[in-house]
Structures are given as structure tokens and as C-alpha cells.
Amino acid sequence: MSQVLMAKSEAAVPSDVSTVVQYALAEDIGDGDRNAALVATNTSARARVIARENAILAGAPWFDAVFAALNPAVTVRWSCADGQRLRADATVVELEGPVHALLSGERTALNFLQLLSGVASATHEYVERVKGTDTAIIDTRKTLPGLRSAQKYAVLCGGGVNHRFGLFDAILIKENHIMAAGSIDAAVARAREQSPALFLQVEVENLTELEQALEAGVDGVLLDNLATHVLARAVNMADAHRRRFRRDIVIEASGDISLTNVREIADTGVDRISIGGLTKHVRATDFSMRMYTE
């Protein structure tokens, strides 16, 4: 195992890091790195990764796993931990070991770092905009295929909160489900019958549907693409229902959320705001690796 000399973020590291890294390495290296073969196999080198812009760091476990898979002799020393703020031109991590491993792992390791730091940085921007409210910024299932656990980890590093992981750990009844089932009541009743222990949420597009969902006894409502003044009314309706039945209901807003309007939406009193763009509209953070042979 490569030596990692700094503790990582408090966010739980997903269990599939090694599997994802092995797939990424196979995708890039195939049956052999023809470029690294140009350098003598007994050469050792040092390298450092530099952040070229301000960012929130995420992706260290995947970065570590790349070099651990290529050669256990590679030593990795971090200057900061996932979830911490990076300043432009700061050295993020230093490496030392066989040059073939450093050359072969460079692109794959940086790909993970730039993608996940980009997700964390975008999340952090939204979290900062709603600071001072009780509203959480949460992710969605709109993730890159095969990288869901990694991107959701990055959201946590940026200060966000994870929504359900997939179709198995919570139920979100959306427009097509309602249409297929016949009504909100019918969809909710069937969900309660089949999966009584799961969190049950219904997406609504107007106040009439909201009232139907509340009367059906859901655990949460997703207010989709509602104007701010309508959101405020919806929050009041849900609050009244909470008081009347003495039960909690999670109020979530989603749809057409941006840095421009997220604070206004949070100020309506919603519990959380889900933003698909955190993981699907990714702007990678700029990193570069500089190598020095011994």
C-alpha cells in the first residue's frame, strides 16, 4: 500500500474506490503504457501537484488508490485534506517513487482530482449563498455513470448533503409515476404497502398537488419549478399540516436553481434545495503535476 501521510476528510470514503480506479486505469493504460516505456525502469522521481485556481479539494482517496494500484512503493504526502480550501498556485500533494508509476498514473489521478474538486467547489458556492438560513444544499441522481458514490462524496466535501443514493433507498414519486398509478393517493398507498420503512416523497408542480400529497401522509414534498411567492405559500401550507398532525414533513425545492436565485429560494423557509447541476454541470478544477527525476 502506498504511504499516505495526512488524514482525509470526515466524509465517509465510498467502498468502491478501488473498483472505480482499476476501471479507470484499464481504460487509460490498456495493455501497456507506451509513453512510460521511453524511460528506464530503474528511474525514481519526485512530483508535486499544484492547484491553478482557488477551489475546495476533493478526490484524495481516488488519487491515492491510483498510485497504490500501480506501485506500492509510491509515497504520497498531502499538504491539505479533502474539504479544505485551496489557493491558486498552492502545492496540494507531493509524490515520490518509481517514475513509471508516476507517469502512468498522472492523468487518471488528476482526472479524479479535477472532477471531484470541481463538484466540491460548486457545492461550496451554493452553501455559502444560503449561509445563515436553515436550508441544506443537496445533490440528486444526475451523476456521471459509474461515479455516483465519488460525486456524492465530493458534495459532502463541499458542505452539501446527499439525497437518496439510488432507486432502492428512498422513494420519490414523480409525474410519470403518478400518471402510471392513476393519482397521488394511489401511488402513495402502493408505496406504503410495498416499502413501509422507506422515506416517501412526492414531487408536486402546484398547490393543488401539494395539498393532495400532504393529505396522503407523505414524509416529504419536492416543490418543482415553483415561483418564489408560490414556494412561500407552499411552505406555509406544509407548516400548517405539520402543526395539525404533529408530524414532520421535509420541504424541498428544485428546478431552475442558480447562484442568482438560490438565496431567495432558501429565504422562503424550505428545508433543502436539490441541484442536479452540482454533479452534471461539472467545471473541472485546474491542477497540474510537475515531475523531477533524481
User: What DSSP character marks residue 90?
Assistant: -
3-state SS, residue 222: strand
Phi-psi region of 261 (alpha: psi -120 to 50; beta: other; left: phi over 0): alpha
Q: Provide mean pLDDT across the span 260-277.
A: 98
- Give 49 or 11, the one with higher predicted confidence: 49
Contact 277, 262 (CB under 8 A): no
Whether residue 20 is found in the same domain as residue 68: yes
**DSSP label at 14?**
P
Examine the pLDDT at 9 and tell me if it is beyond 80.
no
User: Is 263 a residue whose pLDDT tops 50?
Assistant: yes
pLDDT in tens, 51-72: 999 999 999 999 999 999 999 9
CA–CA dist 131, 266 (Å, integer): 9
**Which residue, chain included where needed, has cell 412526492?**
202
Q: Is the pLDDT of residue 124 over 50?
A: yes
The active-site residue out of 96, 203, 209, 271 is 203
Neighbours of 206 (CB within 10 A): 13
- Which helix (H) or strand (E) element contains residue 76? strand 75-78
Residue 48's pLDDT band (cuts 50, 70, 90) = very high
Q: 10, 53, 85, 107: which is the annotated catalytic residue?
A: 107
Q: Annotated catalytic, 224?
A: yes
Are residues 216 and 233 both part of a single domain? yes
- Looking at the fold, whether 275 and 287 belong to one and the same domain comes out as no
Higher pLDDT pick, 42 / 95: 95
Q: State the CATH number of the domain containing residue 110.
A: 3.90.1170.20
Query: How high is the pLDDT of residue 294?
Result: 62
**Packed helices 17-29 and 148-157: angle between N→C axes, nearest 10 degrees:** 120
Model confidence band, residue 291 (pLDDT cutoffs 50, 70, 90): very high
Same domain, 106 and 145: no
Q: Is the pLDDT of residue 3 over 70?
A: no
Angle at 175 between CA 170 and CA 177, to 5 degrees: 60
Among this protein's residues, is 142 annotated catalytic? yes
Residues 120 and 147 in one domain: no
Give me the phi and psi of 29, to 5 degrees please. -90, -30
Residues 198 and 270 reside in one and the same domain = yes
Q: 241 and 143, same structural domain? A: yes
Average pLDDT score over residue span 162-186 = 96
As a whole-number percent, the residues of the chain with pLDDT over 70 amount to: 96
pLDDT at 38 over 90: no
> Residues 112, 181: one domain?
no
Select which of 8, 46, 141, 142 is catalytic: 142
The domain in which residue 289 lies consists of 3-128+282-293
Are 220 and 172 in the same domain?
Answer: yes
Q: How confident is the model at residue 2 (pLDDT cuts 50, 70, 90)?
A: very low
Co-location of 43 and 75 in the same domain: yes
| Three cell numbers, residue 186 | 394511489
Q: Same domain for 72 and 13?
A: yes
Q: Would residue 280 show up in a list of annotated catalytic residues for this protein? A: no
Percent of the chain with pLDDT over 90: 91
Active-site annotation holder among 8, 141, 174, 192: 174
Same domain, 87 and 220: no
Which set of grid coordinates corresponds to residue 238?
406544509
Q: What is the mean pLDDT of residues 120-141?
A: 98
**Nearest-10 crossing angle of helices 207-215, 228-245:** 20
At residue 10 the predicted structure's pLDDT band, cuts being 50, 70 and 90, is low
Active site residue 233: no
Domain count, the chain: 2
CA distance 21 to 27: 10
Pure H helices in 76-174 = 99-129, 148-157
Q: In this structure, are residues 139 and 159 in contact, taking their beta carbons and an 8 Å threshold?
A: no
Quick check: helix, strand or coil at residue 249?
Answer: coil
pLDDT band at 1 (very low <50, low <70, confident <90, very high): very low
Question: pTM of the prediction?
Answer: 0.94
Active site residue 52: no
Instruction: Please state, in angstroms and rounded to a whole number, the distance separating the CA atoms of residues 202 and 154.
Output: 26
209, 224, 252, 271: which is the annotated catalytic residue?
Answer: 224
C-alpha cell at 35: 509513453
Q: What is the pLDDT of residue 247?
A: 87
Quote the mean pLDDT of the chain.
94
Reading the block at residue 2, the C-alpha cell is 502506498
Radius of gyration of the chain (CA): 23
